[in-house]
Amino acid sequence: MKFNVLTYSLWLNVLLFSLVMLTFSKASKSLAGYKRIIVANEELNTKYSNVLDINGRIVGQNQVLELKKKELEALVPELYKEIKALQVKPSRVESVSTSSFSSHTSVQTVLRDSTVFDTVAVKQFKYADEFYRIEGLAVNDTQHLNITYQDTLIQTVYRGKRKKPWLWIFSPRQLEQRVALQNPDVTINYSQYIQIMQ
């Protein structure tokens, strides 16, 4: 009889210990996910910074977000909708990058008098450089312009600063991105890179 009670007691203790360990494991995973979402939310609100590259060109830099697919849908729903609008299944997405830039340049060129259809007097101009091609003509009081802009976006994602530099080699490096355009007159207003975790 005592042996049966000891056996049942032992099995109950093992079962109770297993339940406690399982609950602890689930709780620690939930806590880690919660902390990661808080960090991702903070990184969404971090300031975009500019750095100079070796040629003196301004390059944008910010943190790379690491999100799971459900977290992407919850934290950045407009980007999630854009992925669907591109007819890409969100489950197949590896990473997402968005960038915004603006360009401003001043153009001075000579207007030339010309005649179209032997009766209509027009003034026309052409301007071209490495990035812009502008063609225009003025007919009476109307300006007609054709503007073409061409540029190259360069983006690199790399392991940058350590998350906790005081831990030296025991602290993993965090993902960072740098984005640059070839045109020196362009300002990158915003860039975001999101790494999708499985």
Q: What is the domain extent for residue 133?
A: 49-198
Average of pLDDT values for 177-196?
80
**pLDDT tens for each residue of 62-90:** 777 778 888 888 887 888 888 788 777 77
* CA-wise closest residue to 177 among 194, 189, 165, 164: 194
Whether residue 25 is found in the same domain as residue 57:
no
**DSSP three-state, residue 107:** coil
Do the beta carbons of residue 111 and residue 124 sit within 8 Å?
A: yes
- How many CA atoms within 13 Å lie on the side-chain side of 184? 7
Length of the chain: 198
Please indicate, yes or no, whether the overall pTM of this predicted structure exceeds 0.85: no
Residue pLDDT, tens place only, 22-65: 888 888 887 777 677 777 667 666 667 778 888 887 787 877 77
The structure tokens listed for 48 are 């975009």
Q: Are 105 and 138 contained in the same domain?
A: yes
Clarify whether residues 28 and 104 are in a common domain: no
Same-domain pairing of 64 and 32? no
Residue listed under structure tokens 């009476």: 140
- 3 and 65 share one domain: no
| Per-residue confidence (pLDDT) for residue 120, from 0 to 100 | 63
Of 65, 42, 81, whose CA–CA distance to 193 is shortest? 65
Distance CA 48, CA 63 (A): 9
Query: Tens digit of pLDDT for each residue in 1-26?
Result: 667 778 888 888 888 888 888 888 88
